[in-house]
A and B are shown apart, each in its own frame.
Chain A
Amino acid sequence: MIGHLLSAGDLDARSATLILDTAAELGNLAGREVKKLPTLRGRTVVNLFYEDSTRTRISFEAAAKRLSADVINFSAKGSSVSKGESLKDTALTLQAMGADAVVVRHPASGAPHRLAHWVEGSVVNAGDGTHEHPTQALLDAYTMRSRLGRLAGLQVAVVGDVLHSRVARSNVLLLTTLGAKVTLVGPPTLIPVDVAAAPAPGIAVSYDLDAVLPASDAVMMLRVQRERMGDSYFPSAREYARRYGLDGARMRRLPEHAIVMHPGPMNRGMEIAPEVADSPRSTIVEQVANGVSVRMAVLYLLLGGKA
């Protein structure tokens, strides 16, 4: 049976936990002399990237290669519907090339869902528009679990541009599935109106970061794009940083054990102060390493069995 990973919402607690457990086993490989496994020999993984994201592409590429899959990088950036080949035609090309999995990054929300209709292989969403980024959520959950020992009952603050963040969407879905409580924090302009009006179970909304920090086990700072200023989401970078940036003083309001996360790339001085990013509480570098393990687990579970 062919499965896809399109949304963190597709995972129930059992399958999400299986991915994290598998990632934990695969993570041990990082310390070995021979990091390569023969598991996906003869399988082809295509990285189809319509947006620049070197870190995500490299992470998937490393994951696939460590499992001995053949990797084809297909950078489709710049080819839009108007000037390039359509997504459907690209899908048919990949199909003809015998892609067993397509890892897709795309600026349009839902593009991986469309792709899944057109290819026979598994589709892994590596970030689609302002929709989701499920492997980021998995690696975040993995990082929290390995640092804090559990996910159930954790209080996680997700801070910043929730409205436009695919990382936030996937994290909310996955963390609530795994029993954590999520508080979305940001200026009201950057929290979806319907979420603020009626948050789903397990989710809270706050506009006051200082009030949320003392009860948080993990704080996830989202990247805030400076362009948002032009759209009047907030008046200035300075005001944003003052109200919603995580600086040293704010970090000290966190409980002793709490961790600080960021999906990268960071805007130092905007949503996160250098002092915080480089502190021992920060898991930012760990998140990158964990990303490879989690993506290996996803590829293994999608491709490691019967096709």
Chain B
Amino acid sequence: MTAYLIRGARIVGGEPTDLLVRDGVVAEVGPDLAATGAQVVDAGGLVALPGLVDLHTHLREPGREDAETVETGSRAAALGGYTAVCAMANTDPVADTAGVVEQVYRLGRAAGLVDVQPIGAVTVGLAGGQLAELGAMASSAAAVRIFSDDGHCVADPRLMRRALEYVKAFDGVIAQHAEEPRLTQGAQMHEGEMATRLGLTGWPAVAEEAIVARDVLLAEHVGSRLHVCHVSTAGSVEILRWARQRGIRVTAEVTPHHLLLTDEKAVGYDPVFKVNPPLRTAADVAALRTALAEGVIDVVATDHAPHAVEDKECEWAYARPGMLGLETALSVVLGSQALGTDWNAIAERMSRQPARIAGLVEHGRDPAPGAPANLTLVDPAARRVIDPGESASRSRNTPYAGLTLPGRVVATFLRGEPTVLDGKAVR
């Protein structure tokens, strides 16, 4: 195993120092370390962060390998500074059995670019009718801890209560896609002035907020952990704030796109801006940024959702919802100014806390002697223009095409081995 000497990196934004990476761990940290036998990585001006962890990734494999595979998605993740991603269950077949989650887990290991931690479905086939074999998935080789019907809401309150209760046995967590389906039938974009103007059926904020409110109360009642996926409205933030003050065990994520983009983007009917939950108003964006800064929302998760060209180059109503996110997440978070350049906060929201929620003990640990060498080096001074053609994803549906964003991932290490060097994927 090659050793790497990372010279002059600012660990989580601190003073420049050297890091020696050997045998999968950070062996030494300190000034002017000797390079004996190690490959030197010049990290002058770069910030070293614990490898980012994404709680919400769609890798599309099995089922839609034309849109993404575990390997291509893993590469995109590594380029975005990630060392672990949680793969959502809405594959085909659905990840609702030990067999499927183990398959995804093994594909991740084989690709070897990030740790792929499968998320299991809450209900069989994501149909919202019957609990999937959550325990079997938990005790499988994939050791599933997060369960989600993402893309669908676990709308039945009784079923949601049971799921929250049941996963306590193995310290699981239900990650809810909060969307009251009866309020969003045919919905195409945020319900508001823009939707009225464009004649697109509205997705009202209350459809999310009603479920968030119900679920925090259920979580309190049964004493369970709840994770709220992709929070998108100011109202949800208020409910979460209340729930946290009350001591309810709820965590929540926000996507990079909900921190930067608004429903105004729908104006030209380009479905690259169609996403679920939809882009909201400027007031919602402001509330989400504040909530992330305060920790009311404690995680940034990408909801990386690759889609094949034909699923996006069509009429808005027929397009699939979702956007790429892995390669741009850190830049968008920096560009949104939600956390400024508070690297500790960035590490907390994008690495440590998501690792805790997912139970990934090897991840989310600051580079320090003895810690697993899962880390990323970021150039905060760089600016880049987003070019969909350059994406490592198999899909091209980034909403940031042509945008200039700050920050660039220069290198990523997974267990001491570089997956990205000089801003390029190693393989």
Contacts and interface: CB of A to CB of B under 8 A. Distances in A.
Direct contact of A and B (CB under 8 A): yes
A17 interface: no
Interface string B310-342: 100111111000000000000000000000000
B199 A194 contact: no
A202 interface: no
B208 to A, nearest CB: 16
Interface stretch (A124-132, A208-216, A235-243): A124-132
A86 B196 contact: no
A130 B201 contact: yes
Interface string A175-195: 000000000000000001111
Nearest to A109: B199
Given A113-B269, A114-B269, A194-B193, A130 B199 contact: yes
B314 A81 contact: yes
B268 A169 contact: no
Interface in A138-184: 166, 169
B92 to A, nearest CB: 16
A86 B313 CA distance: 9
B44 to A, nearest CB: 45
- Indicate the size class of the contact surface on chain B: 20 to 34
B62 interface: no
A108 interface: yes
B314 A86 contact: yes
A110 interface: yes
B295 interface: no
A166 B199 contact: yes
A39 B85 CA distance: 63
B192 A194 contact: yes
Contacts, number: 64
A111 B200 CA distance: 11
A128 B199 contact: yes
B193 A109 contact: no
A274 to B, nearest CB: 31
B180 interface: no
B401 interface: no
Contacts of B316: 108-110, 114
B315 A108 contact: yes
Contact of B268 (A106, A107, A113, A131): A113
B191 interface: yes
A224 to B, nearest CB: 17
Contact of B318 (A81, A113, A128): A81
Nearest to A128: B199
A106 B318 CA distance: 12
A131 B315 CA distance: 13
A87 interface: yes
Contacts of B313: 86, 88
Considering residues B191, B192, B198, B202, which has the most beta carbons from chain A within 10 angstroms of its beta carbon?
B198
B193 to A, nearest CB: 5
Contacts of A80: 318
A213 B268 CA distance: 37
Contacts of A192: 195-196, 202
B314 A109 contact: no
Contacts of A132: 199
B269 A109 contact: yes
A234 B314 CA distance: 33
A109 B269 CA distance: 8
Interface in A76-131: 80-81, 86-88, 106-111, 113-114, 128-131
Interface in B200-230: 200-202
Contacts of B197: 9, 169
Nearest to A192: B196
Contact of A108 (B195, B310, B318): B318
Contacts of B310: 86
A111 B196 contact: no
Contact of B315 (A110, A169, A193): A110
Given A110-B269, A113-B268, A113-B269, A81 B196 contact: no
A114 B191 contact: no
B200 A109 contact: yes
Contacts of A109: 188, 198-200, 269, 316-317
Given A110-B198, A192-B195, 7 more contacts: A86-B314, A108-B317, A110-B199, A111-B269, A114-B316, A129-B200, A195-B196
Interface of B: 188, 191-193, 195-202, 268-269, 310, 313-318
8 contacts: A107-B317, A109-B200, A109-B316, A114-B269, A114-B315, A192-B202, A194-B191, A194-B192
